[in-house]
Structure 1
């Protein structure tokens, strides 16, 4: 009799545990880039507001390295229970198969897409000591001394690396590419004068531009950024009219995460993205307007971006290594 009662009690506990509403404990939010960079700045702002909507803490995990591949690989192989999520620069993730052989995961199929968060331009900046007040000046300097001009990116094979290769291709110049492990260290070394110029995310560069510690030369997307309206788009420079590359940030989960959990996360993300306070925060950070599309729309947009990036990588002469 006692055994039967114990069995019934344990069964009730198991059913109750399964019936617990999601989420019932803290959630790990992986940001595959170092602290202080654009992905980290956005991820923390988004995660902070998402935790309030979901009613559970977001534990930030800066699992950086290999241009976002280390953190992405971790999420791709995490338990699909909704307690490991990721805010990622999708543009950098989609660059990985174009630059890395034997990646170890599929950048689309090995994730559950939840929603695109926000687009962002990159910006080409220079140390104030560099005698370049414009993109035309920068190209002229690079042409004068091939391979001498140092330009930092936030990672080998990253979107900013592609931006540098595209600049060399369209400008018919050669520069010395210096890859860093994230936007924060890349920006810090340009500010310190260890590297002459850099292609970095606008959120991490914006405070230094306002302080006069970095000189803004060009926005990498077709449109100018409202946060620095006086800074022209790179494509406004003669000879660089085809230049256009930016970043898109996304919210993802491990593959095979149950549909009800994805739906709950999508609804929570939309609540964050539609709030006026968060929209104002995005502008303050140097980002664009929030997206908030459906998982299916994110998949379609992601596949379209892969095609675009493949074309740009081919034009820039980038091959997987």
Structure 2
């Protein structure tokens, strides 16, 4: 484990060149990180994953003494950005903000699988678990789960719901609602939660299942009406908001999570340095407060714990994703 001062800028500069022997000759090798780190967010800007990435990435950059540059590379439910990281050089300079979509759902619904969620990535840290929320435009004539169900049953197929893309947790949250509630809604997929949210706020689509962090401010200022959170328990930032299960759909539960991954076969010392920076960033008072404000449950795990988490999530969600009938090119 690196001493905390090793991650300071002074420590970084002091150790910026180390000697390593290759083939009997001494060569200068820059200490990691010697240049900015590219953190790929595989969804559009403005969504929950983007919010977490920017909060944690900025603090990691301060701790590591190099910028962590956020690159939004959206497409195919997160598959485009994830594939890019899986195929990147495993030197620590290209890492991924992975989610339940990229590592548990996509493998079940992709027509062409372009990576293995376990074998093609190096786990770094599970950062946070994030609740989803059902929101509607204020013009939608319902304020509770039961009222939403009544409106949808009165006009089957009349209403649509937006999501961040086919096969994402937000899409499956809607499909699960339809299944348990016995209702019909048309699915309108977007290239990320941000664009979908913009259209729901504008009234173009009346309903959305969103990650709570990206909808929170719109709920607070009255631009969206929250119907219920999708987790098993209520959340601290909206204690008066019932769960969808409480609202009448017993057994309903969905969520997402955010975690850092690198390409497979990253050197252990680089993984350790990134893990420490990520977990220390989560302990920062400002980062903690902002994540708590949007009800993201902070975790901060070891690489090994994240690796096990992915295996458990794949086993849990694979049959659910298959049953949804969702398919991605």
- 1:8-47 deviation line (CA, Å, top 9, x unaligned): xxx99x9776532111111111111111111111101110
Establish whether residue 274 from structure 1 lines up as the match of residue 283 from structure 2.
yes
Verify the 8 A CA contact 2:130 2:296 in the aligned structure 1: yes
TM-score (structure 2 length as normaliser): 0.89
Q: Distance in 1 between matches of 2:25 and 2:316?
A: 48
- How many residue pairs match? The answer is 308
In the TM superposition, what is the alpha-carbon distance from 1:306 to its structure 2 partner? 1.3
In the TM superposition, what is the alpha-carbon distance from 1:242 to its structure 2 partner? 1.1
72-81 or 255-264, larger mean C-alpha shift: 255-264
Match of 2:197 in 1: 187
Verify the 8 A CA contact 1:279 1:289 in the aligned structure 2: no
Match of 2:262 in 1: 253
Describe the shift of the 1:103–1:18 C-alpha distance in structure 2 as closer, same or farther (beyond 3 A): farther
In the TM superposition, what is the alpha-carbon distance from 1:272 to its structure 2 partner? 1.2
Write out aligned runs for 1:105-254 (5 A): 105-238=115-248, 240-254=249-263
Describe the shift of the 1:17–1:94 C-alpha distance in structure 2 as closer, same or farther (beyond 3 A): farther
For the residue of structure 2 that corresponds to 1:216, the secondary structure is: strand
Verify the 8 A CA contact 2:100 2:313 in the aligned structure 1: no
For the residue of structure 2 that corresponds to 1:247, the secondary structure is: strand
For the residue of structure 2 that corresponds to 1:19, the secondary structure is: strand
Match of 1:300 in 2: 308
Verify the 8 A CA contact 1:153 1:179 in the aligned structure 2: yes
Q: Distance in 2 between matches of 1:90 and 1:237?
A: 25
For the residue of structure 2 that corresponds to 1:293, the secondary structure is: coil
Match of 1:34 in 2: 44
Match of 2:99 in 1: 89
Describe the shift of the 1:16–1:186 C-alpha distance in structure 2 as closer, same or farther (beyond 3 A): farther
Write out aligned runs for 1:47-66 (5 A): 47-66=57-76
For the residue of structure 2 that corresponds to 1:281, the secondary structure is: helix
Verify the 8 A CA contact 2:200 2:207 in the aligned structure 1: yes
Q: Which has the higher helix share?
A: 1
Establish whether residue 291 from structure 1 lines up as the match of residue 280 from structure 2.
no
In the TM superposition, what is the alpha-carbon distance from 1:62 to its structure 2 partner? 0.7
5+ residue gaps, structure 1: 1-10
Verify the 8 A CA contact 1:98 1:320 in the aligned structure 2: no
When the two chains are superposed, the root-mean-square deviation of aligned CA atoms in Å is: 1.9
Describe the shift of the 1:249–1:57 C-alpha distance in structure 2 as closer, same or farther (beyond 3 A): same
TM-score (structure 1 length as normaliser): 0.91
In the TM superposition, what is the alpha-carbon distance from 1:237 to its structure 2 partner? 2.3
In the TM superposition, what is the alpha-carbon distance from 1:314 to its structure 2 partner? 4.9
